[in-house]
Structure 1
Amino acid sequence: MTQANEVRPETVRLLLQGKMGIEIEEHRVDQQRHSLSQFDHPSQLGDRRKQPYFQTDFSESMEELITAPHRRLVGIMNQLHSLQQLLNEQLHPTEIIWPFSMPPRLEATDVQFLEQTFKREWYQGYRDLLLAKYGPFRHIMCGIHVSYSPAGAVVQWYQQQQGIADPIKAKNQLLFQITQQLVGFRWLLTYLYGASPLDENQTEPHEPIRSIRASRNGFANLPDVHINYDTLEGFIQEQAAAIQTGQLFAPSEFYGPVRLKGGNDLNTILQTGIEYLELRVLDDDPFALDGIQLSTLKFIRLLIIAGILFPHEWNHTTLTEAAKFNQRVAEARPTDPLPSELQKRAQELIDQLQAVVVVLPEASGWQAALNLVQQQISDPLQTTAARLATHIHNHSLLEFGFMVGKRRKEQREQETLTQQFPDIDKTLIPQYRYLTQVGVPFTVTAPTLLTLPNNTADPFKVTPKTTLATLQVRYQQKDKR
């Protein structure tokens, strides 16, 4: 196992290779009705059966914004900002984007509308099952999912380090090692970024806590579902068994802190290979314009690197203990400090991360993110939940939520085109806007160049000279095929 004083700069730079992406869930809320919007999902955002960037979830008001995988974290944030802008442009005049994971208060008529209105008919059966099993409230909690996939060079390095002959096995083992790291330190992510202190639709908890969503009463499976992260094989087998017995409908119904993605067949995933992992524990950040801070992504990336360089001996005992720690932290008051034992563990982790940060390119930005975490560990009043708790009035965040949502909407409307689309030259924004709204996958190769995947070795390139008519014809022809 690598020691903190043995970290090589070239190794850390290598481990930075890989891609991350974000999926953020957020509600459209009607300011006139003071509840979830009953307007349709914007038709200008494309066909949800195939849209890679804009989807909806359990309710028609529950938007999902999905970035492409990016090598650079700032690339994720820039695309997310542009997606938020495009969604904002399609909002009804009375609509805002709700800044919290927990929805506003729903009246009986709102719940009835929620239960009866669902316009993705291709998912209707699955949605009906979830509604009957979990009720109307659990699945309208919003959150952020962060995906990660290592680059081939990272897998090769790990393969050599571990002496594994099969590259698929090496990648599977690497991703599960990182998964255990994220699950084992979930309590720290809950402490730092928990931001769902109360539920406007339930009488409990009576007092604000750090994160309802991250607790056992939040976005979780029923108590009879037990999927452990002890071993990779056991993790896969327990999911398959739960599906076979009817405890779970499909892998998509597993609501653990981390999912492993790679095809739809659990029986063959170890042979075909895990493609990426998905961390699912983050609340929406009410203090971030786009719902998450760049510093949060940086800390998660550092946690991933530490999971590769400094692997813990995770087993059933230590992972069970970590789950109990997370429940304890989630149900604590927003202003409570970490228990002394967890402060010690957090500090040991920070020391490891510090050894990584000092050898990173552009170290100052990473250092600032780590310094913020250090400050929050030392002072719980700087955590997201504690800051949010100061805005609770009469056991409600409604007033603050509408103020933040309205302010964000106005801010987006006042931004310049360059601010709204930070990765794109102004001359290419119409093409960028069209491809994103229609739902055509592409890569931002340069500020004046978008690259669309093609069946041939010669991808289609979009420049400011590419007319919208050309793109419309191309997309329509693709639709007809």
Structure 2
Amino acid sequence: MLPLTSDFTYDLNALSHSSAINSIQGIKRGVERECLRINPTGSLAQTPHPVSLGAALTHDSITTDYSESLLEFITPPETDANKTLAQLADVHKFTLDNLGEERLWPLSMPCFIKSEAEIPIAYFGESNVGKMKKAYRVGLRNRYGSMMQVIAGVHFNFSVPDSLWQYLAEKQNVEPTQDWISAQYFSLIRNYRRTCWLIPFLFGASPALCSSFVAGREHGLDFKQLGKGTLYLPYATSLRMSGLGYTSTEQSSLRICYNELDNYIRVLREAMYQPSQRYAGFAAGEGGNFQQLSKNVLQIENEFYSPIRPKQPTRSMEKPTDALATRGVSYIEVRALDVNPFSATGISREQIDFLDVFLISCLLMDSPEFTADRYKETEVNLNRIVLEGRKPGLTLLHNQQEVSMQVWAEQLFARFGDVAQFMDNAYDDNRYSLAVEREWQKITDPDKTFSGRWLNKLLSEGDNAVVGRELANSYRNDIKAFEYRYKTAADFVEEATRSHAAQQDIEAADKVSFDAFIQEYFARPPQN
């Protein structure tokens, strides 16, 4: 057996007692799904964000991300995963019922886009807050290009119930203070970083992309061509998570520390005020010209790309690090999920069940603090998996040694099986054990992974653009036939109306110029 850090901090036999079983039932989950609006021909929609969907600035469940064409659907935290998926389906239905002939692109990597000039930056109105969001996105365009910013993903928000924190604290003979809870979340995050290569292996669904995405860009990848304009790597799992996607060479120099909350906050704050020679040429307010919010490594903290984030809901204009510093970690955001092309809403119940097991395992297992070398290994392993994860005989780095991915996965799945049994007992069914067994089959047969299935579909059916457009048409019909479960169309219309009124109130409340607003934002001293 390999000397892997997979032992449990907490005794699973003790966790099988009724008090522990009851303590885990309050897990809360939420989903943020991104998707591009496209025309019936498969091209990127150029229309503004539909007024009928509400104001992107203030709507609770329908907003935009980087582009006017890049929708983001948000569900609130819920303890019932089926309710989360039904709420997500409701949002999809109302959206498609109000898009006319437009469709939703069902893949993470974007549709054919002739040039970056075709990608409209999101508009959030004329308030200072709305202008700040727009200026931030202009900065993203100038720093990284617009193509990278229209990649779509699914974010999975996950929080541990207070009852489980209380039980685990009793086992450690400590008080479940907020500082202790934050430290436990960071322990989970470290184990996630060590093993998150599993997520793109199992759920990565972007082994191919449209050649327009890399046109004129140096990438150094040995792509194969399929159809008229599809490029792919034979063993890739998630090109979205590769150097082609959400990466930044400037950010790679940041020594982000996941050993404790204070250091994590300190490094992010420093990056917000650390000048960058790379971005010095873009105006940051000179003469009222905002080509970015600042000339620093990060414009704002949200610019930091990571496959996971510790989170605390922010108040109006509160910086994320201030929220973490004053109130601690309240949930985590898993950001390594591709859009699932085999689900009309981009994520499935089977994925959620496995993620529950995976994340609770990360919490319960030993989690030594990172050294710089060990942290670097996590990045090396993730890159190997996203580019060639299904390659036979693939090895990963562990403690400076090459280890078999299959052997490492086998050990992890043995632990997952134990945790799944504990969770099955809590929910009085066997869905978690079934989820572990289902994902294990992908380890033994990589063709069963999302990336394997999608690439085989392309190889048999043809060009990525054609198959994606056909799937968008199919899902459009399926979703429009859905019945509302938790909201009605009237509820969504009322929410859209409220959001427009809320945006108008924000615009009317502004008392200072945009220049002064931005200066005040960055001059505000850090909290706590």
Q: TM-score, length-normalised on structure 2?
A: 0.76
Structure 1 residue 311 displacement after superposition: 2.8
2:161 maps to a residue whose letter is A
Equivalence for 1:232: 261
Contact 2:187 2:259 in 1 (8 A): no
Is it true that 1:28 corresponds to 2:37 in the alignment? yes
Equivalence for 1:141: 151
Contact 2:166 2:176 in 1 (8 A): no
2:379 maps to a residue whose letter is A
Structure 1 residue 171 displacement after superposition: 1.8
Equivalence for 1:124: 134
Equivalence for 2:107: 100
Equivalence for 2:241: 214
SS in 1 for 2:333: strand
Equivalence for 1:260: 310
SS in 2 for 1:104: coil
In the alignment, the residues of structure 2 paired with residue 119 and residue 474 of structure 1 have an alpha-carbon distance, to the nearest angstrom, of: 16
Structure 1 residue 142 displacement after superposition: 0.5
SS in 2 for 1:285: coil
Deviation string 1:341-368 (CA, Å, 9 cap, x unpaired) is: 2222222222222122224224322222
| Structure 1 residues 110-189: aligned runs within 5 Å | 111-114=116-119, 117-121=121-125, 122=130, 123-165=133-175, 167-189=177-199
| Structure 1 residues 73-472: aligned runs within 5 Å | 73-93=81-101, 95-108=102-115, 111-114=116-119, 117-121=121-125, 122=130, 123-165=133-175, 167-200=177-210, 201-202=213-214, 204=219, 205=221, 206-207=223-224, 208=233, 209-225=236-252, 226=254, 227-245=256-274, 246-262=296-312, 263=314, 264=319, 266=321, 269-316=324-371, 317-332=373-388, 334=390, 336=392, 339=395, 341-359=404-422, 360=424, 361-392=427-458, 396-415=463-482, 417=483, 421-423=484-486, 429-438=488-497
SS in 2 for 1:36: coil
In the alignment, the residues of structure 1 paired with residue 501 and residue 250 of structure 2 have an alpha-carbon distance, to the nearest angstrom, of: 52
1:243 maps to a residue whose letter is M
Structure 1 residue 475 displacement after superposition: 13
Deviates more, 1:205-214 or 1:51-60: 205-214
Distance 1:349 1:5, change over 3 A: farther
In the alignment, the residues of structure 1 paired with residue 394 and residue 336 of structure 2 have an alpha-carbon distance, to the nearest angstrom, of: 18
RMSD of aligned C-alpha atoms? 2.9
Contact 2:183 2:260 in 1 (8 A): no
SS in 2 for 1:390: helix
Structure 1 residue 154 displacement after superposition: 2.5
Contact 2:186 2:259 in 1 (8 A): no
1:106 maps to a residue whose letter is I
Deviates more, 1:430-439 or 1:284-293: 430-439
Structure 1 residue 163 displacement after superposition: 4.1
Equivalence for 2:16: 8
Structure 1 residue 86 displacement after superposition: 0.9
Structure 1 residue 438 displacement after superposition: 4.3
Contact 2:208 2:455 in 1 (8 A): no
Deviates more, 1:349-358 or 1:283-292: 349-358
Deviates more, 1:383-392 or 1:14-23: 14-23
In the alignment, the residues of structure 2 paired with residue 143 and residue 473 of structure 1 have an alpha-carbon distance, to the nearest angstrom, of: 30
Runs (5+) with no aligned partner, structure 1? 441-471
Structure 1 residue 220 displacement after superposition: 2.1
Structure 1 residue 390 displacement after superposition: 1.4
Runs (5+) with no aligned partner, structure 2? 1-8, 225-232, 275-295, 396-402, 510-528
SS in 1 for 2:209: coil
In the alignment, the residues of structure 1 paired with residue 138 and residue 151 of structure 2 have an alpha-carbon distance, to the nearest angstrom, of: 17
Contact 1:29 1:96 in 2 (8 A): yes
Deviation string 1:286-337 (CA, Å, 9 cap, x unpaired) is: 0111101111111111112112222332422433222211111111065657
In the alignment, the residues of structure 1 paired with residue 416 and residue 25 of structure 2 have an alpha-carbon distance, to the nearest angstrom, of: 13
Q: Percent identity over the alignment?
A: 22
Distance 1:221 1:152, change over 3 A: same
Deviation string 1:75-109 (CA, Å, 9 cap, x unpaired) is: 1111111111111111121x11101111112113x
2:414 maps to a residue whose letter is D
Structure 1 residue 478 displacement after superposition: 13
